[in-house]
A and B are shown apart, each in its own frame.
Chain A
Amino acid sequence: MAFARAVGAQDLAEAPPEPGTPVPATFAAVDVQFDPLHMRNMRPSGPLAAAEGVAGSVLHAEQHFEYLRPVRVGDVLTVGQAEGRTWEKPRRQGGRLRFREFIKEYRDSRDRLVVRSRMVLVETERAQR
């Protein structure tokens, strides 16, 4: 319900949704909240940690979701994560953009794939206004 309220999913924002209710389309992206190491000592885990120690900025460039079925309230999902490709391309204003891809698979209690996620982060050498 808190997530629904934060993203404007009005029909889920009135009261705690019943088990089995499909959740908003991007809810899987907040799985880091279930990582016991996340934000311990104010340190992020997962792809967010990619921003740590980068001299410039790390921005979210792309996000893809593929849904094998909807995620529903009450689902217990296990997340597997792997780093994907990395690549660079020149920036119009000069310098380089470095891209990093993170792939996640969310599986249910029967190990069936529910959601596949692809996140692309971009490291810039200087802030982009």
Chain B
Amino acid sequence: MSARTSPIVIGQRRERVIYEQLLRTEIVQYAGVSGDFSPLHTDEVYAVGAGYSGVMAHGMMIMAGSGCVLTDWVGVEALTRFRVRFRAPAWPGDRLTTTVIAEALREEGDSAHVDFSLSTTNQNGVEVVAGTASARVGGR
């Protein structure tokens, strides 16, 4: 999450595996730090009873991990906007890969901003998180 040292070129991308094999323990860990103990994330019996194959990861856990790929690139202090849609659940055992692409340069007031797209997919190519973000890259 350190500050960026080189200019961002439109079209550049960053890609990283954020979970090699998502663990139930990691879901429990996120439940603990977030305070989100929904049984869909923490109670296998409940989740199966609700019609799912088991517990699913918190969407916010995947957003946070995906966001690290972006902020490791641009620096968290530069971030002005970060939006995602949770398109599919992430399950224990999933391998999740995040891709961030610099899409456009935009002037806003006396600042320059770069708009990014962000996508996190699982091992089957299913998109679990789709998002956009903006970062200030110049100006005040």
Given contacts A24-B1, A57-B40, A129-B52, contact A62 B86 (CB under 8 A): yes
Task: Point out which of B26, B51, B70 has the most chain A C-beta atoms below 10 A from its C-beta.
Answer: B51
Expressed in whole angstroms, the minimum distance between the Cβ of B38 and any Cβ of chain A is: 6
Chain B count of residues within 8 A CB distance of the other chain: 40
Interface residues of A in 12-30 (CB under 8 A from B): 12, 22-26, 29-30
Would you call A7 and B82 a contact (CB within 8 A)? no
Would you call A65 and B68 a contact (CB within 8 A)? no
Instruction: Name the interface size band of chain A.
Output: 35 or more
Would you call A6 and B82 a contact (CB within 8 A)? no
Q: Which residues of B contact A (CB under 8 A)?
A: 1-2, 18, 26, 29-30, 32-38, 40, 50-53, 58-61, 63-65, 67-68, 70-72, 76-77, 79-86
Does A76 touch B at the CB level, under 8 Å?
no
Does A73 touch B at the CB level, under 8 Å?
no
Main secondary structure of the interface of A (DSSP, over half): mixed
* Complex Cα gap A67–B81 (Å): 6
Would you call A32 and B35 a contact (CB within 8 A)? yes
Does A66 touch B at the CB level, under 8 Å?
yes
* Complex Cα gap A58–B50 (Å): 11
* Complex Cα gap A117–B42 (Å): 25
Taking a contact as CB atoms closer than 8 A, the residue among B34, B72, B79 that contacts A29 in the complex is B34
Would you call A48 and B36 a contact (CB within 8 A)? yes
* Complex Cα gap A37–B78 (Å): 34
Expressed in whole angstroms, the minimum distance between the Cβ of A118 and any Cβ of chain B is: 8
A43-58 interface mask toward B, CB cutoff 8 Å, 1 = contact, 0 = none? 0100010010000111
Would you call A127 and B85 a contact (CB within 8 A)? no
Expressed in whole angstroms, the minimum distance between the Cβ of B120 and any Cβ of chain A is: 12
Q: What are 6 A-B residue pairs whose CB atoms fall within 8 Å in the complex?
A: A7-B65, A8-B64, A8-B65, A9-B64, A58-B38, A67-B79
Does A112 touch B at the CB level, under 8 Å?
no
Given contacts A6-B30, A25-B67, contact A127 B51 (CB under 8 A): yes
